[in-house]
Amino acid sequence: MDKIELKKSLKPIHLWAIAVGLVISGDYFGWNYGYKSGAFSFFCALILVTIFYISFAFSFTELSTSIPSAGGPFAYSNRALGKFGGFVAAFSTLIEFLLAAPAIAFALGSYFQFLFPSVNSTYAALFFLAMFTFINLLGVKQTANFELVITIIASIGILIYLVSVYPFSKPLILFSKANEFQFSSMFSAIPFAIWFYLAVEGVAMAAEETENPSRDIPIGYSLGIGTLVFFAISVMIFTTGLEMEPKLLGSDNPLAVSLEILYGKDSLLVKIFGLIGLVGIMASLLGIVLGYTRQIYAVARENFLPEFLSKIDERTGVPKNACITGSLIGVVCILTGKTDIMITISVLGAILMYIISMISLFVLRKKEPELERPFKAPLYPFFPALALVLAVICLISVISIYPIPSLIFFTLFVISLVLFLILNKRETNVQN
């Protein structure tokens, strides 16, 4: 009996929607916590992170087109560095996506409570996570089409916000605060600058379900990263120009709060934008569920996780066990209510994954020079080297500024590594 495989049905427009949809909630919430480092220091962190993501995206595209796998970073590192490299990539990517999901779901619940105050935000978060798990279970084509629609709506929402605040904003105010810049403050703002782009690499996990990966991934990924760079810098500059940082610092819906202050709580614009903001966060949650489902499936397929997680539903072509298991983990995390810690640990997972991916690119260039590479990283080796150096800087800064989340992250890493080594040794003994 032939093994059931993932269905190839995605086009560049779907990949753009997945790339932007995965991330766009980062424009609607989360990034504003970076204001505690000072506006200009935060802006410098954003520029540094933007340079990193541009260099990383073009380098990462080489990997995703050369090895189009649902495992994404796991597949590249496993091939380049062996089982240990595969473990590091699998652990870091799963931590990134599995913790980003409940953080985004919680923000979605908070936005819903903002619109409907009588609703409990935690219950709303659980409801939305369950709803998007169900949508993902319907099939990748249905999920991608829905993601496309809500990503377009969410993108229009960002444009509406920018146009609405433009008459009130004084963007140059940001640069007048340059004298407040401190390197330590810039480093402390890096995790929240990363939130503007976190999980954009998840588009690689749809590679096995793309009609023509070598052509479609570069197009979809390039358009996606370009859209996100424009949104991130514009939102940061125009929001800072409103001089509302103290009021936005602790908010779970900073853009809606900005419009509420400018136009009044009962204005039609605020109500419409609140609904669009809801859609924006929905786009990210839907994409994140898709991402961790494929990652769990791919890792289990290579026997790094229990085999039942690699089973694909014959009717829908979806790894339903992986999808449901990832969502149950999200439920537990939502009930903790520690959004800021989840964001930081998720960021740590992402940065470690970026590092292992760039190392894998260099190793594969040496190890497999004849590997077909439909897209090659421009300015090699400068671009991937720049991405690697900046990723290491980001990792050091996050660890030094946020010791408790870092301790949790590395404790989970050590525990997972011990379990991996035990299971791997047992498997080797059985084979012998």
Give pLDDT, residue 359. 97
Q: Helix 268-301 and helix 320-336: axis angle, to 10°?
A: 130
CB distance 94 to 235 below 8 Å? no
Comparing C-alpha atoms, which of 281, 199, 256, 239 is closest to residue 42? 239
- Average predicted confidence (pLDDT) for the chain: 89
Instruction: Give residues with Cβ within 8 angstroms of 428, minimum separation 6.
Output: none
Any long-range contacts for 1-6 (C-beta under 8 Å, 24+ apart)? 4/312, 4/314, 4/317, 5/208, 5/312, 5/317, 6/70, 6/140, 6/208, 6/209, 6/294, 6/312, 6/317
Residue 432's pLDDT band, with cuts at 50, 70 and 90, is low
Average pLDDT score over residue span 171-197: 88
Q: How far apart are CA 130 and CA 133, in angstroms?
A: 5
Its pTM stands at 0.88
Q: Which helix (H) or strand (E) holds 367?
A: helix 339-367
Domains, the chain, in order of start with CATH, read 12-431 (1.20.1740.10)
* C-alpha dihedral (97, 83, 354, 23), degrees to nearest 10: -20
Give pLDDT, residue 410. 95
Average pLDDT score over residue span 6-10: 75
CB distance 323 to 289 below 8 Å? yes
What are 123's two structure tokens?
């219950």
Q: How far apart are CA 22 and CA 13, in angstroms?
A: 14
What are 169's two structure tokens?
């904003």
Q: Based on the number of CB atoms within 10 Å of its own CB, is 302 exposed (0-12), middle (13-18) or buried (19 or more)?
A: middle
Which tens digits make up the pLDDT trace of 85-105?
999 999 999 999 999 899 889
Is pLDDT of 357 > 90? yes
Amino acid at 186: M
Is pLDDT of 354 > 70? yes
Which tens digits make up the pLDDT trace of 153-177?
999 999 999 999 999 999 999 988 8
Residue 430's pLDDT band, with cuts at 50, 70 and 90, is low
Give pLDDT, residue 336. 82
Which tens digits make up the pLDDT trace of 365-395?
999 999 999 999 999 999 999 999 999 998 9
Average pLDDT score over residue span 256-270: 91
Average pLDDT score over residue span 18-46: 90
Q: How far apart are CA 353 and CA 347, in angstroms?
A: 10
Give pLDDT, residue 363. 97
Average pLDDT score over residue span 122-145: 89
Is pLDDT of 117 > 70? yes
- Number of residues assigned to the chain: 432
Give the residue, 116 or 237, on which the prediction is more confident.
Answer: 237
Give pLDDT, residue 429. 63
- Eight-class DSSP state of 371: S
List 210's β-bridge partners, or say none: 10
